[in-house]
Amino acid sequence: MKSIDYKKLMDKIRLPVALVLLLFLPAKSVIAAAPEEVKIDWRKIERVSKTTLSLQVVVMPPLRRGSPIHAQAWASLKDLEANAVRFVPWVPYPRLAVPALEPPANGKTSWDFTLIDPLIIDFMNASKGHSVIMDFSTIPAWMFKTEKPVPYESDPDKLVRGYGTQGTELRDPSGKELGDYYARLLQWYTKGGFTDEFGKRHTSNHRYKFDYWEVFNEPDIEHKMTPAQYAARYDAVVSAMKKVDPQMKFIGMSLAYPHKSPEFFEYFLNAKNHKPGIPLDMISYHFYAKASRDATFESLQYSFFEQAESFVNTVRYIETIRTKLSPKTGTVINEVGSILPGVKPENIPLEYWNLSGAVFAYVYSELARQGIEIVGESQLLGFPTQFPSVSMLDWNTGKPNARYHVLKLLKDNFAPGDRIAATEPGRNTYVYAQGFVNRDGKRKMLLVNRRNRTIEVSLPEIKGANITRIDQTTNYNAPVTEKVMDEKLALGGFAVAVVTLP
C-alpha cells in the first residue's frame, strides 16, 4: 500500500496540522490527547430541584420470609432511607399479588391475605418514617370477560405467564365491582379490616398510612386498555378509595411506552374526560434502555445513552402536554432501568451494572433539570425468571451491586431544594457533568463517564475537593472517597462520581 505524504496533503487541502492529524489518528488517541473541560457558573442558577430520588420494589419470591436473602434484601431497602418507594405486587405471582383469586359466589368469597401480608409488613417496616407509593397493579382475572377462567398456580413461587393480561372488557362495565375491590383492599391495610360482598367482616388490625396509590401498572400492555377505558377505570377506583382515605394522593397512567402514546396523555390529563371531583394528582410512566439481541456489550455504551437522551426529549414533550392541560398535576417516573434480553443471568458482565448505574445517574440529573417530582430506579430485586438485568441486588447473596450504590450515592448528595447551576459542556460529551448547590450552600458536581474507558476531565477549582466515586474497581463495594490533588481528574469506565468543592 502506498504511504501517504501528509505534507503534500496539507498543502493541497490547506487544513491546519492539528485537523489533519485529527483525521488520521485513532479515535482513542484523540480522546486521550486533551482532558474534557467542565465549566460551571455557580452564580447562574437555572432551576431549584423538586426531584426526590427513589426506587421500586416488585414482589419476587426471594423477598419472602424463609428466603436466604430475605433479611439482606429488606435491610438494603431500609439503609437507603428513601421516600416515595413504589411497592408493586405484580402479575407473574398471582398468589402474592391478588388477595381474591376467585369471584364471590354462593355466599362465599376468596379473600385471603395470608401470603401477601408478610410482604407488606416487611416493606412497611423497611420504609418506616418514609412516604410510600402502593400499587396492587394486578386486577383479579375473573373481573374480565374471558373465554374460560384464567388459571393460576397453587405454588405461590411458581411463575405464571399471562395471568394479568387476558381480557379487555370488565364483566361489570360500570366499574363498581372493580372500585369496591380496591376499596376493600385499602381498608384491610389502613382501617383494620373490611366487610365483604356478602356482609362478612374480615379483620386485619393493620393501620398503615399509604401516601400515594398508583392505579394499575402499564395499562398499555396489561389488558391493552384504551385511554377511555383506563380513565373510566381510574375514576371508578379513585372514587371508591377516596371514601376510605380522603387524604391519599393518586397516581395515574403508569405507561410502559410513553413515546408511543401521546393520545393517552392528552385524554387522561383533560379533566373533561373524568367524573367531577376526580383528582389528577400525578401521572407516571417508565423508561428502560434495551439491548437488541444481537448487540455486543461494547455497543451498549452508545445505544443506552442514545436511548436515554431520546427519553429525556420525550419527557420534555410530555411535560408540554401536562403543563397545557393540567399544570397542577405532578410527574413520577418510577421505573428507570436497563434490560438485557436473551442474556442468561450468569452471563451478565460485571461492568454492565456500572453502565446501568451510569445511565440512571444521567437520566436523574436531566429529569431534575426539567422539574420532575420523583425519579425511581427499577428495581430492588430482579430474579432469573423476571428481568435479572434490572436488579439492584445479587439474587444469590443479596449483596448490593453498582446500581444500588449509584442510587444511594445520588440520594445521599442531592435532594429537592438543591439549586441547579449552569453547566457546560453538558450533554454531548463523553463525560456528563452537572453542578448543584445544596441547601446548606455546598457546591457539588455530578460526573458520569458515558464510556467504558478512563477519561481525563479538567475541573477548575477542584484541587482540594473530595470525590466520591463508583466505578469498575469498586464493584459490589461501597463508593470510595478521595482527596483531589490536581485540577485534572481521571474517571474510570462508566464511573459515577460526586465532587464536593472545598
* Same domain for 244 and 357: yes
Pair (409, 458) in one structural domain: no
153 and 250 assigned to the same domain: yes
Q: Is 355 exposed, middle or buried (0-12, 13-18, 19+ CB in 10 A)?
A: buried
Domain termination residue (choose one: 397, 416, 435): 416
pTM of the model: 0.91
Q: Which residues of the chain have pLDDT under 50?
A: 1-33, 426-427
Q: Which of 389, 416, 443 is the last residue of a domain?
A: 416
Asked whether residue 397 falls in the same domain as residue 435, the answer is no
pLDDT per residue as tens digits for the range 308-337: 999 999 999 999 999 999 999 999 999 999
Provide the CATH number for the domain around residue 412: 3.20.20.80
Is residue 282 within 8 A of residue 251, CB to CB? The reply is yes
Q: Which amino acid is at 428?
A: N
What is the per-residue pLDDT for 340? 95
219 and 109 co-located in one domain: yes
Domain count, the chain: 3
End-to-end CA distance of the chain: 56
User: Hey, which bits of 266-391 come out as E strands?
Assistant: 282-290, 330-339, 374-378
Same domain as 368, residue 483: no
* C-alpha closest to that of 54 among 367, 291, 300, 341: 367
Q: Clarify whether residues 308 and 451 are in a common domain.
A: no
Distance CA 335, CA 254 (A): 9
Question: Which residues does 145 contact at the CB level (< 8 Å), separation at least 6?
Answer: 167, 169, 170, 171
The shares of helix, strand and coil residues in the chain, as percent rounded to the nearest 5, are 35, 25, 45
Q: Where are the alpha helices (DSSP H) in 195-327?
A: 227-244, 262-268, 297-325
Q: Classify residue 105 by its DSSP letter.
A: B
- CB count within 10 Å of CB 31 equals 16
Distance CA(73)–CA(115), nearest Å, equals 18
Query: Same structural domain for residues 340 and 480?
Result: no
Pick from 416, 444, 461: which residue ends a domain? 416
Structure confidence at residue 157 (pLDDT): 95
CATH of the domain at 488: 2.60.40.1180
| pLDDT of 10 | 33
The answer to whether residues 310 and 430 belong to one domain is no
Residue 460 sits in which domain range? 34-47+421-500
290/340 Cα distance (integer angstroms): 6
User: Residue 425's pLDDT is what?
Assistant: 66
42 and 65 inside one domain: no
Does one domain contain both 224 and 146? yes
Half-sphere exposure in the Cβ direction for 463 (13 Å, CA): 4
Q: Same domain, yes or no, for 213 and 280?
A: yes
Task: Give pLDDT, residue 298.
Answer: 93
Task: Kindly give the pairing relationship between strand 431-437 and strand 443-449.
Answer: antiparallel
pLDDT digits (tens, 9 = 90+) for 390-401: 999 999 999 999
pLDDT at position 462? 86
Could you tell me whether strands 455-458 and 36-37 are parallel, antiparallel, or unpaired per DSSP bridges?
parallel
